[in-house]
Amino acid sequence: MDTVRLDKWLWAARLFKTRSLASEACRGGKVKINGENAKPSREIKAGELIEVQLSGIKKTIEVLQPAKNRVGPKLVVDLLKDHTPVEEYERFDFLRQMKTEQRDRGTGRPTKKDRREINRIKKTDD
């Protein structure tokens, strides 16, 4: 087995819960190979670098072994190598902690200036 479909591998490597979610992510531009958007039917092989946008974190993953069938969580390390920078995980942790903003009681709703400051800290473009 030299190659396998991208959506099948993303599902087998437990990056997505279902294969259809992996396909949707590919069609939505959340999965890139060598900087280009990848279709779900694209064949991948060992040694390719895949960038996947997963709920606020951008993971960079190297394919070590193509797999058609889903593997157990302990065997995922045989399929992929994570090259995601530590800063990305730290940023994700920070955003997760800031999921709910704490405001002093009685200060009211955030002003436009406050909202812009919050968005700047969170790096969002709302």
Model confidence at 125, pLDDT cuts 50, 70, 90, reads low
Tokens read off for 9: 């591998």
Residue 79 identity:
L
Residue 126 confidence (pLDDT):
47
Q: Where are the domains of the chain?
A: 4-84
pLDDT digits 0-9 by tens, 8-47: 999 999 999 999 999 999 999 999 998 899 999 999 999 9
Per-residue b or e along 84-102, where b marks 16 or more CB atoms closer than 10 Å to that residue's CB:
beeeeeebbeebeeeeeee
pLDDT digits 0-9 by tens, 37-63: 999 999 999 999 999 998 778 899 999
CATH of domain 4-84: 3.10.290.10
pLDDT digits 0-9 by tens, 71-115: 999 999 999 999 988 888 887 777 776 666 677 788 888 889 988
